[in-house]
Structure 1
Amino acid sequence: MNATSTNNEPKNYMASRPPLSDAIIVALSSLVDDSQTERRDPSHSDIEFQIDRARLSDADPGRQGKPVGKSKRVRGTLSWALSNDLPAGEVLVAGLVATVQGCGGFRSESTNYCGAEAIANLASALALQGWELTPDGIMQPRVLASLTGKELTSALRTYARRAQQGSLDGPLLAGTAKDLLEATAAHVLMQKWGSSTTSSNFPTLLGQAFTALGFATPSDPVTSGEPANKRVEREAYALGCALNALRNKEGTGHGRPWDSSITPSQARFAIESMGSIARLMLDALS
């Protein structure tokens, strides 16, 4: 099965794509399932529209010659996307939840109400990925400033994983003005030393976090016979500082988180590398 790529996906979706996981697939499939109740919207036509908009029509079980229910249709399409085209799947998640919301699926007095349990299940699945679902059906990244301890570690780990997958969306910025590495470094210092630095100097911040974790930095002299992983740690620090230098110093509010001189390929490498370095730090923190 070869679904259409989403390289040209609608720009309005690029800014804040929600996550996609196995748990979200199950929960979202249940959200549109009306097999146990009287018929309610969204209709098959509504679902098909969102599948087409995400450019996943070839992955749609509803077009394979046999009639299928809404739940199976959504589950099959999203499952394919999870393994083969994650950005397209994230676009579809956003579209489906918006459609359910528009049909009144989150209002208990509506004839299209999805049910408290189905909504709670989706909210729980999204929470595991660092997102929240409001009672009226709005999905948004959890604000990291409101999280501490293990909850913050979990949220940062989610963003790191998405970055490693090459995600280019707004949630990569972790819902704050800080980038992923800065937020992770500050969290490490809070967990290890009980406070985070107030320094605006990123190399200093990252260096302190590395030191707190027992990682080597270029300021640590190479010793004879030291483990090879110490070289990896030094290079990870240097790469982290280089990635920070690529950031658009004018801020991310203009839709360009990276310096305009770098190519899309370099930007993707930078994002994936940020995820890997953040993951290295968070794994050491656990």
Structure 2
Amino acid sequence: MALPITDHIVAAVSKMVDDSQVEGYREPSHSDIEFYVSRAGLTDADPKAQGQTVGKAKRVRAILSWAIDNDQTAGGKLVESLIAKVRASGGFRDSSANFIGADVIARAVEAFDSEGYILSSDGALRPKNLESLMGRELTVALRDYARRAQKGSEDAALLSGTSKDLLEATAAHVIRTKYGSYPQQANFPALLGQAFIALEMATPEDPPSSTESPYRVMERGMYQSAVGVNRLRNKEGSGHGRPWVASLGVVEAEAAIELAGVIAGYMLDKLDNR
């Protein structure tokens, strides 16, 4: 799914790399920008390659503005690379010397939201509608949700742009990857069971053996835990409002979120290794 670029996004990303209004140096460097510009195939649009001396913000704005009219795909790749660099450099952490500022982040969040993307407060960028993704792109998106869930992020409990929760979406993705389609009307325990079988993971239907590997015992526990987490989900709506049943306490909700992340992450790792 190609990342769209607009004037709004160009302005937001340009501010993310700008360090002209702060004391000292802040990553990314001009050298970093040059590397990502070259990798995106946009060197010809780079003012620096034309002998001009410009600041980072003006440089990035010029390149991306050219890409809007001439090569949206390359421009989208550059935007993703720059955001990833800013994130890796601590740009989204307020304790970092490279912090880009709450106002800059808020403007970027708004810009991407208007184009159907979610930019989280920690710099993760993902499409709102995960159902438009398939294959490797969906694996990457689900893995990002799994990591956030493992850290207790409640917005990872129900996926944006889909009625599925993280575990259900992961199970469906596994089955579709393995067999080309998945049973959309299947209940969650059946869907999860099929995904576990496709990944050669143990389920409660597999008789325990005294000689089996301990990880098989762990996988049975994962299945039962995943079913329990799914039953705790608020089935009304699709992620708007509290995603858990009203009787669930904060401690239980945090455990459910983190469990979902661990199990989904394990399933995606198994999928990658098959």
TM-score scaled by length of structure 2: 0.60
What is the match of residue 194 of structure 1? 180
Q: Which has the larger displacement, 208-217 or 253-262?
A: 253-262
For residues 221 and 231 of structure 1, the distance between their equivalents in structure 2, rounded to whole angstroms, comes to 10
What is the match of residue 160 of structure 1? 146
What is the match of residue 268 of structure 1? 254
For residues 124 and 113 of structure 1, the distance between their equivalents in structure 2, rounded to whole angstroms, comes to 15
What is the match of residue 58 of structure 1? none
The 5 Å alignment of 1:47-196 reads 68=23, 72=26, 115-117=61-63, 121-124=78-81, 134=112, 139-140=117-118, 141-142=126-127, 143-169=129-155, 172-196=158-182
For residues 177 and 258 of structure 2, the distance between their equivalents in structure 1, rounded to whole angstroms, comes to 25
Question: Compared with structure 1, are the counterparts of its residues 122 and 189 closer, same or farther at alpha carbon in structure 2 (3 Å cutoff)?
Answer: same
What is the match of residue 96 of structure 1? none
What is the match of residue 281 of structure 1? 267
The 3-state SS of whatever aligns with 2:184 is: coil
Structure 1 residue ranges without an equivalent (≥5): 1-26, 36-43, 45-66, 76-110
For residues 123 and 135 of structure 1, the distance between their equivalents in structure 2, rounded to whole angstroms, comes to 15
The 3-state SS of whatever aligns with 1:270 is: helix
Query: How many Å apart are 1:249 and its aligned residue?
Result: 2.0
Q: Is the 8 Å Cα contact of residues 130 and 161 (structure 2) preserved in structure 1?
A: yes
What is the match of residue 31 of structure 1? 16
What is the match of residue 231 of structure 2? 245
Q: Is the 8 Å Cα contact of residues 170 and 264 (structure 2) preserved in structure 1?
A: yes
For residues 178 and 127 of structure 1, the distance between their equivalents in structure 2, rounded to whole angstroms, comes to 27
For residues 15 and 226 of structure 2, the distance between their equivalents in structure 1, rounded to whole angstroms, comes to 41
Identity percentage over the alignment? Answer: 49
Structure 2 residue ranges without an equivalent (≥5): 1-11, 29-56, 65-74, 88-108, 119-125
Q: CA RMSD in A?
A: 3.6
Question: Compared with structure 1, are the counterparts of its residues 31 and 274 closer, same or farther at alpha carbon in structure 2 (3 Å cutoff)?
Answer: same
The 3-state SS of whatever aligns with 1:173 is: coil
What is the match of residue 31 of structure 2? none
Q: Is the 8 Å Cα contact of residues 210 and 217 (structure 1) preserved in structure 2?
A: yes
For residues 138 and 32 of structure 1, the distance between their equivalents in structure 2, rounded to whole angstroms, comes to 22
For residues 171 and 229 of structure 1, the distance between their equivalents in structure 2, rounded to whole angstroms, comes to 25
